[in-house]
Structure 1
Amino acid sequence: MTLAERKSAFIALGTFLGQFAPGNSHKKQDVPHNDLFFDEMLALIALSQSHNRWFTEEQVYFALQQWSKALTSQNLDIWLAAYDLNNIEPKTVGLVLAGNISMVGFHDFLSVIISGHKALVKTSSNDQKLLPFLAKYIIAAEPRLRDYITFTEGKLEGFDAVIATGSNNTARYFEYYFKDKPSIIRKNRNSIAVLNGKETKEELAALGEDIFRYFGLGCRNVSKLFVPSGYDFKPFFEAMYGYRDIIQYEKYANNYDYNKAVFLMSNFSILDNGFMTIKEDTGYASPISSVFYEYYDSLEVLKQRLEAEHEQIQCIVSNSLMPGTVPFGKTQQPELWDYADNIDTIAFLAKI
């Protein structure tokens, strides 16, 4: 199977996903395999929250829309232009996927298949439905891919390389268990924002998207702010007010109440606006409904610190205050070539 043929299957998937939007899903006559998959997809979206209470329809629709925008011929061509994938000898790559947000492991799955390898997939117990369904669509679009995609609920066996995602604790297990195989082991990471007090209302409002999308559960969600000494948080809180309805979701509200109570009982000083708290803390991983913050005196000193601690950071949001930063509001809209942990997955797969 050629690279062009593999691309075609994912382009078809992107077109299929583009039909689904909150309150506005529309079945198009010219999309292949719609009679088999469209209604079932709608049902799966509606049932997602019963499988994982964090997977609300709004969040699932958002993930589908982002992948629809990514899976175009132009994007795939730009992404893969730098690699030679035409003579890959197919290997079996084990995928141990996370389940913190909907479709979080899709990029690794896509990378394995598009590079010409076979995917042996172990999904997270928190996200077991959507990827297998999308795999069925891909196989319908290109039946020869049936032999390239396998899902397993048990122990991974018979693989040549592995990409595994988990916590820092499970990563130690992965590193031991997969020590004899080529591997990418993903650990805990968090994203941050670096502010200087000159951000516009629009930029701060967009930062709210980086904080609250997927309820803050993703590694690309901003969980910490770095702000200059003497920073006035009033404009920040005013910008966050547009996201106040998030407290109406019971599971989020329960986390907000619990984490706020823990902070108060521990006599921590916090700022609170009724649906989120911010707390001065040197850590990166804030609990759900809370964002940590830390003051800085020098951007240059902060830059050196962040470089030294880069293995804890997924991405940095700022108004170009740091090199390689992500614009406000864009952390959950990565391009295909924005690799997790800054590890080039396709380059890894091309040499195994």
Structure 2
Amino acid sequence: MANQPPILQPLQELGSFLTGFCDPTETKEGLWHTKLEDAIRIAQHKNSWFTRENVLFALHQWGNLLTKSNLENWMASYQIPVNGAPKTVAVIMAGNIPLVGLHDFLSVLVTGNKVLAKLSSNDEVLLPLIAEFLMEREPALSGQMAFTQEKLTGFDAVIATGSNNTGRYFEYYFGKYPSIIRKNRNSVAVLTGNETKAQLRALGIDIFTYFGLGCRSVSKIFVPKDYGFDVFFEAIYGFKDIINNHKYANNYDYNKAVYLMSEYKILDNNFLLLKEDTQYASPIGTLFYEFYDTITQLQERFREDRNQLQCIVANGCMGNCMDFGQTQRPNLGDYADGVDTVSFLLNLQAQQG
């Protein structure tokens, strides 16, 4: 088996802590429980999209991922150097969903490199606390982690995540460095009309988790031409309370007003708008839909648009697809944009100079 990085034990302890913290039956006491409660409260104050429910969802997923077996399986196919030449990797993080940059952060650490993290102002509270937790478990890690809000200097490679506009900026400024630069991607679902209510209900998780702000959030559905939307609306009715979030409601109301004034045809269940549109990225409170003729044609389109897509959800009718309700539950080896971050980071150490 490949060498196991020493950070795996602190990560297991972090996973156990997060799992316990998110367990409603477990007594919440101790310094770290207090620190995390404070961090959640501050994070929500700074960014009202980071509701307690959404932060706990993210923490729970990480607790499930950071187990001994998951971490060892993740590392099993890599050869981690015992005495490698660590590189400093600047990680420019997005802030659209809680802890969205944690996977890149951990990928740098498990490969023995040093992370120089530039946090988004929308998500600048939770990750430093996790770093503090890990350093308490393994003080040597303090030399591998740094956070900055200043201009990035003294780095060997870059991992940057942002929009299409910021992606062009990143490519201009960091083009001479080894880099992974991520731009806008969206996730879609393909319906055939044969889905069960349970599957459509699970699709609601893919649509509404994090208010649809993640690249793994389903922003559009493809349906056959004779599709009846009543069964879909009935299945997702359990998510109706999302409209009680004032920011979501403001976006929903604004988009509804724009569509009505523009005389667009929309379907509406009072908490989600369905609009026929050829684009992939739908605004908050809106789900785009498009009719398709055949699955084969749809598969060809997705191949052509693969650089715009993150996840495809379907009931077995597509080749490379995910089950309903699973887009927000990636494994450690499910790399954003399909680019193996760990391999990229290990190759850096093989490059001298």
Q: What is the TM-score when the length of structure 1 is the normalising length?
A: 0.96
- Matched with 2:255 is 259
Residue by residue, what CA displacement relative to the aligned partner does 1:272-327 show, whole Å, maximum 9, x if unpaired?
A: 00000010000000000100001111100110000110000000001111122111
Could you tell me how far 1:48 is from its partner in structure 2? Answer: 2.3
- RMSD of equivalent CA atoms: 1.2
- Matched with 1:209 is 205
- Corresponding residue to 1:339 among 327, 335, 342: 335
- Corresponding residue to 2:177 among 181, 185, 209: 181
* Counterpart-to-counterpart distance in 1, 2:4 and 2:94: 27
Indicate conservation of the 8 Å contact 1:165/1:185, yes or no: yes
Q: Which amino acid aligns with 2:214?
A: G
- Matched with 1:32 is none
Q: Confirm or deny that 1:81 pairs with 2:76.
A: yes
Indicate conservation of the 8 Å contact 1:48/1:57, yes or no: no
* Counterpart-to-counterpart distance in 2, 1:311 and 1:25: 43
- Matched with 2:351 is none
Q: Confirm or deny that 1:194 pairs with 2:190.
A: yes
Residue by residue, what CA displacement relative to the aligned partner does 1:187-245 show, whole Å, maximum 9, x if unpaired?
A: 00000000100000000000000000001100000000011111111110111111001
SS of structure 2 residue aligned to 1:99: coil
Could you tell me how far 1:89 is from its partner in structure 2? Answer: 1.8
- Matched with 2:103 is 107
**5+ unaligned residues in a row in structure 1: which ranges?**
29-34
- Matched with 2:35 is 40
- Matched with 2:46 is 51
* Counterpart-to-counterpart distance in 2, 1:39 and 1:124: 24
Structure 2 CA distance for partners of 1:80 and 1:58, relative to 1, 3 Å:
same
Could you tell me how far 1:22 is from its partner in structure 2? Answer: 7.3
Could you tell me how far 1:267 is from its partner in structure 2? Answer: 1.2
**5+ unaligned residues in a row in structure 2: which ranges?**
349-353
| Residues 314-329 of structure 1 aligned to structure 2 (within 5 Å) | 314-329=310-325
- Matched with 2:244 is 248
SS of structure 1 residue aligned to 2:21: coil
Residue by residue, what CA displacement relative to the aligned partner does 1:146-191 show, whole Å, maximum 9, x if unpaired?
A: 0000000111110000100010000001001001100000000000
* Counterpart-to-counterpart distance in 1, 2:235 and 2:242: 14
* Counterpart-to-counterpart distance in 2, 1:161 and 1:241: 46
Residue by residue, what CA displacement relative to the aligned partner does 1:111-158 show, whole Å, maximum 9, x if unpaired?
A: 000111000000001000000010000000110000000000111110
- Matched with 2:273 is 277
Indicate conservation of the 8 Å contact 1:22/1:57, yes or no: no
* Counterpart-to-counterpart distance in 1, 2:4 and 2:86: 12
Indicate conservation of the 8 Å contact 2:43/2:124, yes or no: no
* Counterpart-to-counterpart distance in 1, 2:161 and 2:263: 35
Q: Confirm or deny that 1:96 pairs with 2:97.
A: no
Q: Confirm or deny that 1:7 pairs with 2:3.
A: no
Could you tell me how far 1:49 is from its partner in structure 2? Answer: 1.3
Could you tell me how far 1:25 is from its partner in structure 2? Answer: 5.3
- Matched with 2:132 is 136
Could you tell me how far 1:24 is from its partner in structure 2? Answer: 4.8
The runs of at least 4 consecutive aligned structure 1 residues that moved more than 6 Å come to: none
SS of structure 2 residue aligned to 1:210: helix
Q: Which amino acid aligns with 1:236?
A: F
Could you tell me how far 1:249 is from its partner in structure 2? Answer: 1.0
Q: Which amino acid aligns with 2:8?
A: K
* Counterpart-to-counterpart distance in 2, 1:141 and 1:11: 11
Q: Which amino acid aligns with 2:301?
A: R
Q: What is the TM-score when the length of structure 2 is the normalising length?
A: 0.95
Indicate conservation of the 8 Å contact 1:281/1:292, yes or no: yes
Indicate conservation of the 8 Å contact 2:5/2:111, yes or no: no
* Counterpart-to-counterpart distance in 2, 1:99 and 1:263: 28
* Counterpart-to-counterpart distance in 1, 2:232 and 2:311: 20
* Counterpart-to-counterpart distance in 1, 2:43 and 2:121: 13
- Corresponding residue to 1:116 among 87, 92, 112: 112
Indicate conservation of the 8 Å contact 2:21/2:33, yes or no: no
- Matched with 1:16 is 17
Q: Which amino acid aligns with 2:79?
A: D
Structure 2 CA distance for partners of 1:38 and 1:255, relative to 1, 3 Å:
same
